[in-house]
Amino acid sequence: MVMKFPRAIFCTLGFLLVLGCSDKAKDLFETAVFEENQNNIPHARELYEELIRTHPSSKLAELAKARLADLKER
């Protein structure tokens, strides 16, 4: 079962995890969140998918997977 978090809480958790991640993974995640908040959902999805593909072992990849699942429900 996937827990649903309000977007603000989820993004805050993501930014806290960013501290230990590579700069590229961090940049991808931050840009995806920005695009999501700007309602540019297709671009946000692309960025989350790129993050997962290029940084599969990062903590942000797990967060990106959860964001993608949430975006599919919209």
| Per-residue confidence in pLDDT tens, the chain, 74 aa | 445 556 666 666 565 555 555 689 999 999 999 999 999 999 999 999 999 999 999 999 999 999 999 998 87
Listed by start position, the domains of the chain span 21-72
Distances (CA, A) of 55 to 18, 32, 39: 13, 14, 24
- Give the contacts of 41 (CB within 8 A, at least 6 positions apart): 35, 71, 74
Q: How far is CA 43 from CA 3, 7, 57, in A?
A: 24, 17, 22
- pLDDT tens column, 27-47: 999 999 999 999 999 999 999
C-beta atoms surrounding 49 within 10 Å: 15
